[in-house]
Chains A and B, each alone.
Chain A
């Protein structure tokens, strides 16, 4: 009995000393050269197929290029930040961390991320909106291989039947929506729920009309809100838009209960499953013909959390660089109905994937949500969705809604 215990204790001590030796060893090596790094841990929120598997493919190709192995963990999208915070407080952040682009500045502001410029990365050729989103105080903290945005989907059959052209202006949009509305079907669907998602869908109207998140009480912003109000008040859009998510909007469109919808290209795989729905996409309509369409920029950036192990940190940066190679950008964009973030690749891509043409056009001028306000964006986004709710429920006019919502 006692003998056993002593043996166990001895074994433990041996294991411990071996482990210590191992640590010291790798520590020495890493400080001299980056060759000893053989694996990287990765955290992202692509936890459902097909995205999960498609992203895995891209990650694997870079892993083999850098001859490392990867240890990937995926969590549901809405739990990623909670997971990151938990890991941050226990100092167990992964070597490579994926973040939704509007979160990059907030996390960078906490001091958790390594500036990528110092590790030999840059954002040359990347669309300005994405550079704005992934930079904080003049330094680059993330790179996004692919991006997305929102535009106007329309049901080709329904528009043809009603003799309606895809709308180019807000007046045309309202007229078309009205003409397309009949019992059991709305002309237009969008998402205006009381979350950041509701604000995101409002941005094409707000920004295209010259509205700005730094001055939400401007007439341009109120005019944009009036468009949403008009669509709902006239009965061209359902009153339920104040509770719908973008997924709900897509369901309405697929079920033939909406003739047009504001949505993003990530819905294309779902639309493809309903072959009887013939659809196309145009950029979001303009209030006045001389405006340019401005939509918000989506997509996720890959970042490198600060790491005491310099070699590992450098390897992680190299890995992010590989994920953002031209080759990988195009492969990911094609596989997942997203868009490459480098301007030079957009035209080639639009030719190869015609269904993404409108999005490719829209993304060139697309703006980052955090471009102007940085980590103060969530406060503005909250005011925006509160104002939309007040106006669409008739609790305030479009003119007063933003004043009321800012409290």
Chain B
């Protein structure tokens, strides 16, 4: 996919001098054109991504507070912000919650997404309509989704507890958002609901790319049902799946609005993640340096996954 056509004529070395020079000049011109084409994009990238990243790095080693906005002064403090946030008694809990939130969300988003994608590959009446309905959670603004889910999960009058109790599944209302041991599960559940459409969409298009002939050939060899999935579908879906999983991690690890909307990190910090901590330090406590330090830790983790992503896609292409 990424193999660019190489411009290396084999006759070049043996060519007479003037021809070689002319070619060289032409090649330099081509290089310049290439650079000129790329330059605007590179500059835009630098301004849009480079600046905030560098600014965030600088901020994390400064004592950046409310005062800074007025005086412009932010004394350098070295790594003190990092040690402060790591030593905080909430840090380890936030790390564990972030890991649980990310792994839980992705495992189920992907699993359910894959099951639904396989289901919708069969042709049946209204299949297309249903599939587009499935996109709805994705189209809703996150703040709307979380507000709606908050009222659904309300302990006393929420529709979920009323339904469960009406059906006799539970005797007492479940404290979805009020108990530290349940809240994280509830929040992960809502995030799974939000993430499924994205997974279905990508996996469905991945499935559509697999040639029908493979299955026809597989059928002759007895590769149907589970074996068909194991030996035909999964190997052909692997590239899409690995992209999806890594994107999922990078996206999920920094989820903020859903948690803020549902629990605000509570009850008793049960749903506190690195992202909510970073937000609170910056925009509630106005300790911008510490907030930046936390978000840099987040970026470092995301970066590790992004590198993983690049490696897997390269390998997928090489294969």
Contacts and interface: CB of A to CB of B under 8 A. Distances in A.
Interface of A: 81-82, 85-86, 88-89, 106-107, 109-112, 193-195, 238-240, 242-243, 257, 378-379, 382, 386, 389-390, 392-393, 395, 407
Interface in B54-106: 66-67, 69-72, 88-90
Contacts of B285: 378-379, 382
A110 B70 contact: yes
A88 B269 contact: no
B70 A88 contact: yes
Contact of B180 (A89, A195, A378, A395): A395
Given A110-B66, A111-B67, A240-B178, A194 B267 contact: yes
A393 B177 CA distance: 11
Interface residues of B, number: 31
A393 B180 CA distance: 7
A88 B178 contact: no
B137 interface: no
A73 to B, nearest CB: 18
7 contacts: A85-B69, A89-B72, A240-B155, A257-B156, A378-B286, A392-B267, A395-B268
B158 to A, nearest CB: 9
Contacts of B178: 239-240, 242-243, 393
Given A111-B70, A257-B157, 10 more contacts: A88-B69, A112-B70, A194-B264, A194-B266, A194-B267, A240-B156, A243-B150, A243-B267, A257-B156, A378-B284
A112 B284 CA distance: 20
Contacts of B228: none
B155 A238 contact: yes
Interface of B: 66-67, 69-72, 88-90, 150, 154-157, 175, 177-180, 263-270, 283-286
A304 to B, nearest CB: 15
B72 A239 contact: no
A111 to B, nearest CB: 6
B66 A194 contact: no
B265 A243 contact: no
Contacts of B90: 407
A407 B89 CA distance: 6
Contact residues of B: prevailing secondary structure: loop
Contacts of B265: 194
- Which of A109, A243, A390 has the largest count of B CB atoms less than 10 A from its CB? A243
A82 B283 contact: yes
Q: Which 10 A-B pairs have the closest CB atoms?
A: A194-B266, A389-B268, A407-B89, A110-B70, A85-B69, A88-B69, A393-B268, A110-B67, A239-B178, A112-B70
Given A85-B66, A106-B66, A240 B154 contact: yes
Nearest to B71: A111
A240 B157 CA distance: 10
- Which of B89, B154, B175, B268 has the largest count of A CB atoms less than 10 A from its CB? B268
A393 B267 CA distance: 7
B179 A393 contact: yes
A378 B263 CA distance: 20
A407 B157 CA distance: 35
A68 B219 CA distance: 86
Contacts of B89: 407
Nearest to A375: B66
Contact of B155 (A81, A112, A239, A393): A239
B155 A386 contact: no
A195 B270 CA distance: 15
A380 to B, nearest CB: 12
A389 B266 contact: yes
B166 to A, nearest CB: 15
A193 B264 contact: yes
Contact of B267 (A88, A110, A379, A389): A389
